[in-house]
Amino acid sequence: MGPDDHVCVCHRVSLRKLQAFLRREQPTVPSKLSECLGAGTGCGWCRQHLHRLWEQSQAGETPSITDDPDQYLAKREQEKRTKNSEPLALANQSQYDLEMAALAPPPPTRIPLSQLRTGERARVDCSSLSDLPEGERCLLQAMGMGDRCELKRCSGHGCIIQIDRTRIAVGSTLADRVFVERLNDRTAHP
Amino acid sequence: MIDPRSVAPLTRPTGPIAAILVGNPNVGKTTLFNRLCGLRARTANYPGSTVEEHIGRAWSDDGTAIDLIDLPGVYGLHLRTPESQVALRALEGEDGAPPHVVAIILDATNLARNLQFAATVLRRTTRAIVALNLSDEAARQGLTIDTDALGQRLRCRVISISARTGAGCLELLGAIQQAAAGPVRARESLDPGQPPPVAEPGDRDLVEWAADVLAQSAGGTAAAGSADDSFTDRLDVAFTHPVAGLLIFAAVMAGLFASIFWLAQYPMDWIDVAFGTAGDWTRAAIPPGLLADLAAEGIVAGVAGTVVFLPQICLLFFLLALLEDCGYLARASFAMDRVMRRFGLPGQSFIPLLSSHACALPGIMSTRLIPNTRDRLATIFVAPFLSCSARVPVYVLVIALLFADHPMWAGVAFVGCYALGAIAALATAWLLGKTALRGSASPMLLELPTYRLPDLKVATSLAVSRGGVFLRQAGSIILAICIGMWWLSAFPQVPESTTVAAIRAEAATLQGVDAARAGELLSEADSLQARDQRSGSFAGQLGGLAEPVFRPLGFDRDVVVAVLSSFLAREVFVSSLKVLVGAGDDSEIDDNTIAMMRDARRADGSPLLDRPAAVSLLVFYVLALQCLPTLAVVRRETGSWRWPIAQLAYMSLVAWGAAAIAHALMEHA
C-alpha cells in the first residue's frame, strides 16, 4: 500500500497522514489516532489496521500496510458485507474498541455557527462551507477555516471566532450558513 | 496618477536588485517596508487596477541598492480579489521578467496558517527567502523557532526579524542580495522530507503539511502557548457590543473629526493666504490682460480651491491609520456592520461616509478600506450626497434668508439639510442594491488583528502618500478643467456698458473731493461689470439656454447663471450670488449681504429669491453633485468615466426633482 492510499476509507485518511501523525504526536494509546482527521470513526473496519500501525510505530518501525490497495479495499468490502469478519488477532482489541467508543464524539449536534455560545469550541462541518458563495468560501479557508478545523467563539455579540491564532469577525449572514459540531472539552485542544 | 492604464507601464524599479514583499494581511509587511525604505517610497496603482503597490529603495550593508515592491496583503493567491490577482501577476512576472527575489513575510506567532501561504508562494518562485516577522513577540510567548530546520524544509533561507524594533532587517537585506546572486532553485524542489501538496491554504493536505513542518521546527503548535487571550476577549466584547460598542465608536469618531477640524483649520488658513499671495504676485508679475487673468483666476484660484482640502485629507488618513494599526478599526467596522447592512452597505463603509461630511474627497479615497468591489462602488456612489463643508456657506446664506428672525427654525433647517443628505445617501444605497449593484453587501468577514501600539511612521507615510495622490490629481485634471471653466466665464469679453462707464466717470470726478464715495462707486462699477460679464460670457449664455430647465424650481436667469457657474465647484455659488445682487464678489456672509439678498428683485419687480425659490434652492444644493474634484476622484477610484457620469446624472436628476417638488409644495402651502 502506497503512502497516498487511504487507510480509513470513510474519512479518506491516507497512510501518509497517519504516518505523519504518529511521528509528530507520538500517541501513547492507539485510539488517539482518531484525532488524525477522524480516522477509524466511520464504519470502524480499519481500526485493526490503525492499531497495527500504532504498534509498528511504538516498536520504532516505519508504519506500513503490506496489502496492495485493491486487495485492501476488496477485503473491506467483503468483510463489511459478510459482517462476520475475522479481525486480526490483536492482544488488546477489546481495550481499543472501548477507548474508541469512549472517544467517539456523541452524535454530532450540527448547529449554525451563530448559535454557538461564547467560549464554546466547535469543529467546522466542511460540507456546509461548500454551500457558500465561492469568494467567501475561499477567503474563509485561506483565513484558516480549513477542513474539520476547530474554533472557539470569543464574543457573543456579533460572531467573533478564533481559529488557532487567528481571530475572525464573521457577519451574521455568514454565521448562519456555516455549520459546526459542538465539541465537549475533552476532545478540544487545550 | 489619473488613469492607471493610460500611464502604464508603471516604471519598474531600475536598481540592480528587485525584490517583492508578499505575505498575509496583518503580518507587519507595511511596517517592514517603511522600516527598510523610510518615507522615500512611491505609491502607484498597479497597472490596470486600483490596487496600490508601494515601491521603495533600500540599501544593504555594503551600499547595494535594492528596490522593494510592497504588494497588498493577501490570504491566498487563488482568491478572486484584485489584490490576489495582482500578487500572482507580480510573482510570475507579467512581462516574462519575474522579480529577482521574493521575500515572503510570515507572522512568527501564527505560523500554522502562514506556512500554508508560504508553500503556495514557494511553488511559484525560483529565488525566495522567508522572513519571520514579530519574532520578538513569538519569543515573548515562549515560542522558539529553529530557523535552520525550517529553512531546510522550505528549501530557502529563513531569517527572524522584527520590523518594529528593526532587529534582523539588515540581515534580511543581505539575504536578499545573496539570494539574487545565488543559484536558482527549481520551483518543484521543495521540502526534501515531504513536499507540500499542490493545494491552496485551508486545504486539508496543506494544513497537515504545515503542522508537520511546524512540529519539526518549532516543537508543535502547542509550543506557542495558549492562544486564549482573555484581555483581547474582553476588549472585543466591549468594542463590538450592540450598545457600548456603538457609544465607544461614536466617541472615537467625534474625537477624530473634532481634531481634524480643529487641527486642519490652521494649515488651511495658511494655504489660503499663500495662494492669495501667489495670486497677487502672479498679477504683479504678468502684465495685466488675459494671461494675468488666466494665471490668477483660472490656475491659481482653481488649484487653491482644491489644495485647501489637503490638510484635512492628510490628517484624516494619519488618524485613521493610527486607529487601524492599533486594531480598533476592524472592530469598529464590525460593530457598524449591523446598522449599515440594512441599507445594503457593509460596516466598513461607515467611516468613508462619515468622512464625507468633511469632504467627499477623503471619504471616497478611504473606500479602499472596503474589500468588496460592489460595496466599494455603492459607497463611492452615495458619498457625495452627504453634506460636505463646502455646502455649509450655501446653507448659511439661504437659511439666513429664510429664517432671519427665527434662530430655532434656522437650526432645525440646518439639521434638516444634513438629514436630507444622509437619507438620500442611504436610500440610494438601498436602491442600488435593487438595481445596478444588485445584491446585498457581501457578508462581513474580517480578520481582527492583535491589539498593538500604533506605528507613527506607518501612519505618516500613509498620510504623505495619500496627500501626494491627491496633489497629483489637483495638478492635472482639476487644473485642466479650472482653465476650461475660466475660459467659459471670461469669454467672450463683454465691453463696459454705458452705466458702468458713467459710474466710473463720476468716480473719477469725485476722486479728489470724496475719496470714500469714489471708492464705493468704483466697487459698484466693478460689481456691475462682473455681473455683465457673467451673463454675457459663454457660461452666462448657457445659463440663458438652461433657464427653462430650472423654471419649475423657481430660479430666474440670474440665479441659473450662479447655479451653473457653481456646477463644478459649489463653493463658488455664494460669491456668484453676491456679484448678482451687487454685494461685492467675495464669499463673506454678513447681515448686509443677507439684507441685499432679500431686497434683490427680478426684472419684473418680484423678489429674486422668494420663499419657494429659496427652499428649492436649498434642496437643490443639498442633493446636487457640484464638485469637479469629486468627479475626478471617482474616476480615479473606479477606473472608468462611467461611474462619475452616472453619479452626476443621477444626483442632478434627484436634486432637480426634489427641488421642483419642494417648490411646488411651498407655492401651494
Residue A190 lies in a domain: no
Residue A87 and residue A119 share a domain? no
Nearest to B568 by CA among B652, B640, B654: B652
Residue A188 lies in a domain: no
Residue A189 lies in a domain: no
- Confidence grade of residue B224 (pLDDT, cut at 50, 70, 90): very low
Domain boundary residue, one of A103, A129, A149: A103
Residue A137 and residue A157 share a domain? yes
User: Does A147 or B423 have the greater pLDDT score?
Assistant: B423
Of B204, B331, B337, the CB nearest to A171: B337
User: Does A135 or B565 have the greater pLDDT score?
Assistant: A135
- Do B56 and B67 touch, CB atoms closer than 8 A? yes
State the pLDDT at residue B419: 87
Residue B432 and residue B518 share a domain? no
| Partners of B66 in beta bridges | B17, B58
Cα R_g (chain B), whole angstroms = 30
- Residue A150: pLDDT above 80? yes
Locate B594 and state its grid cell: 443677507
Whole-angstrom Cα distance, residue B477 to residue B302? 11
Q: In the predicted model, what is the mean pLDDT of residues B270-282?
A: 85
Nearest to B105 by CA among B191, B22, B194: B22
Provide the percentage of residues in chain A whose pLDDT is more than 70. 82
- Residue B180: pLDDT above 60? yes
Residue A51 lies in a domain: yes
Closest chain A residue by Cα to residue B335: A158
Please give the DSSP secondary-structure letter assigned to residue A25: H
Q: How far is CA B379 from CA B59, B383, B426, B446, in A?
A: 41, 6, 10, 18
- Residue B298: pLDDT above 80? no
Report residue B102: phi and psi, to 5°.
Answer: -110, 120
Domain boundary residue, one of B227, B262, B289: B227
Q: How far is CA B640 from CA B49, B180, B479, B636, B646, in A?
A: 11, 39, 19, 7, 11
**Chain B residues touching A148 at Cβ < 8 A:** 204
Of B227, B331, B443, the CB nearest to A165: B227
- Confidence grade of residue B659 (pLDDT, cut at 50, 70, 90): very high
Residue B452 at interface with chain A, using a CB cutoff of 8 Å: no
Q: Is A48 left (phi over 0), alpha (psi -120 to 50) or beta?
A: alpha
Residue A10 lies in a domain: yes
Nearest to B652 by CA among B424, B359, B396: B424
Report residue B399: phi and psi, to 5°.
Answer: -65, -35
State the pLDDT at residue B3: 34
Residue B286 and residue B164 share a domain? no
- Confidence grade of residue B110 (pLDDT, cut at 50, 70, 90): confident
Q: In the predicted model, what is the mean pLDDT of residues B215-242?
A: 72
Nearest to B278 by CA among B261, B260, B297: B297
**Chain B residues touching A16 at Cβ < 8 A:** 194
- Residue A187: pLDDT above 70? no
- Confidence grade of residue B653 (pLDDT, cut at 50, 70, 90): very high
Residue A154 lies in a domain: yes
State the pLDDT at residue B371: 75
Of A134, A168, A190, the CB nearest to B446: A168
Residue A95 and residue A115 share a domain? no
Residue B429 and residue B343 share a domain? yes
Q: In the predicted model, what is the mean pLDDT of residues B454-471?
A: 81
pLDDT digits (tens, 9 = 90+) for B596-651: 777 777 767 677 788 899 999 999 999 999 888 888 889 888 888 999 999 999 99
Count of CB contacts below 8 A, A vs B? 145
Closest chain B residue by Cα to residue A138: B79
Of B80, B113, B208, the CB nearest to A166: B113
User: Does B26 or A106 have the greater pLDDT score?
Assistant: B26
Per mean pLDDT, which of B280-284, B526-530, B620-624 is the most reliable? B620-624
Residue A128 and residue A92 share a domain? no
Q: How far is CA B332 from CA B141, B275, B351, B367, in A?
A: 27, 39, 9, 15
Residue A139 and residue A119 share a domain? yes
Residue B59 and residue B102 share a domain? yes
Mean pLDDT (chain B) is 81
Residue A41 and residue A13 share a domain? yes
State the pLDDT at residue B486: 75
Structural domains counted in chain A: 2
Instruction: Quote the distance between the C-alpha of residue A178 and its chain's center.
Output: 18
Nearest to B92 by CA among B67, B126, B64: B126
Q: In the predicted model, what is the mean pLDDT of residues B254-272?
A: 81
Task: Write the CATH number for A133.
Answer: 2.30.30.90
Closest chain B residue by Cα to residue A148: B204
State the pLDDT at residue B428: 95
Residue A98 and residue A10 share a domain? yes
State the pLDDT at residue A88: 46
Instruction: Quote the distance between the C-alpha of residue B7 and its chain's center.
Output: 20
Please give the DSSP secondary-structure letter assigned to residue B444: P
Tell me which of A155-159, B56-60, B300-304, B345-349 is least confident.
B300-304
SS3 state at B187: coil
Locate B567 and state its grid cell: 456646477
Closest chain B residue by Cα to residue A143: B75
Contact residues for B218 (Cβ-Cβ < 8 A; gap 6+): B111, B143, B144, B145, B146, B150, B224
Please judge whether B443 and A37 are an interchain contact, meaning their C-beta atoms are less than 8 angstroms apart: no
Residue B307 and residue B212 share a domain? no
Q: In the predicted model, what is the mean pLDDT of residues B465-482?
A: 71
- Residue B12: pLDDT above 80? no
Nearest to A182 by CA among A119, A127, A114, A111: A111
Residue B307 and residue B282 share a domain? yes
Residue A98 and residue A72 share a domain? yes
Closest-CA distance, A90 to chain B, in angstroms, reads 29
- Do B626 and B566 touch, CB atoms closer than 8 A? yes
State the pLDDT at residue B223: 46
Q: Is B11 left (phi over 0), alpha (psi -120 to 50) or beta?
A: beta
Helix H or strand E segment including B58: strand B52-59
Whole-angstrom Cα distance, residue B363 to residue B316? 9
Mean pLDDT (chain A) is 79
Residue A115 and residue A99 share a domain? no
Residue A101 at interface with chain B, using a CB cutoff of 8 Å: no
- Residue A86: pLDDT above 50? no
- Residue B418: pLDDT above 50? yes
Q: In the predicted model, what is the mean pLDDT of residues B284-296?
A: 79
Q: In the predicted model, what is the mean pLDDT of residues B114-118?
A: 91
Alpha-helical segments (H) within B300-406: 301-307, 310-325, 328-341, 350-355, 360-365, 373-382, 392-402
Provide the percentage of residues in chain A whose pLDDT is more than 90. 2
Please judge whether A146 and B330 are an interchain contact, meaning their C-beta atoms are less than 8 angstroms apart: no
pLDDT digits (tens, 9 = 90+) for B127-144: 889 999 998 888 887 788
Could you list the residue range(s) of the whole structural domain that residue A151 is in? 110-182
State the pLDDT at residue B581: 64
**Chain B residues touching A160 at Cβ < 8 A:** 236, 240, 334, 448
- Residue B8: pLDDT above 50? no
Q: Are strands B128-133 and B157-160 parallel, antiparallel or unpaired?
A: parallel
Q: In the predicted model, what is the mean pLDDT of residues A29-33?
A: 84
Whole-angstrom Cα distance, residue A175 to residue B245? 20
ipTM above 0.85, yes or no: no
Structural domains counted in chain B: 3
Among A118, A124, A166, the strongest candidate for a mutation testing the B interface, having the largest count of B CBs within 10 A, is: A166
Locate B334 and state its grid cell: 464590525
State the pLDDT at residue B2: 34
Q: In the predicted model, what is the mean pLDDT of residues B278-306?
A: 77
Residue B265 and residue B220 share a domain? no
- Do B178 and B17 touch, CB atoms closer than 8 A? no
Instruction: Quote the distance between the C-alpha of residue B251 and its chain's center.
Output: 23
Residue A121 and residue A89 share a domain? no
Whole-angstrom Cα distance, residue B609 to residue B597? 8
**Chain A residues touching B222 at Cβ < 8 A:** 189-190
**Chain B residues touching A20 at Cβ < 8 A:** 194, 208, 212
Residue A16 lies in a domain: yes
Could you list the residue range(s) of the whole structural domain that residue B525 is in? 495-531
- Confidence grade of residue B560 (pLDDT, cut at 50, 70, 90): confident
State the pLDDT at residue B6: 32
Whole-angstrom Cα distance, residue B404 to residue B539? 32
Cis peptide before B492 (omega within 30 of 0): yes
Residue A28 lies in a domain: yes
pLDDT digits (tens, 9 = 90+) for B351-372: 788 878 877 887 898 887 787 8
Q: How many residues does chain A have?
A: 190
State the pLDDT at residue B481: 66
Nearest to B72 by CA among B49, B95, B93, B100: B49
Cα R_g (chain A), whole angstroms = 19
Helix H or strand E segment including B129: strand B128-133
- Confidence grade of residue B118 (pLDDT, cut at 50, 70, 90): very high
- Confidence grade of residue B579 (pLDDT, cut at 50, 70, 90): low
Contact residues for A98 (Cβ-Cβ < 8 A; gap 6+): none
Residue B166 lies in a domain: yes
Q: In the predicted model, what is the mean pLDDT of residues A83-93?
A: 48
Residue A82 and residue A148 share a domain? no
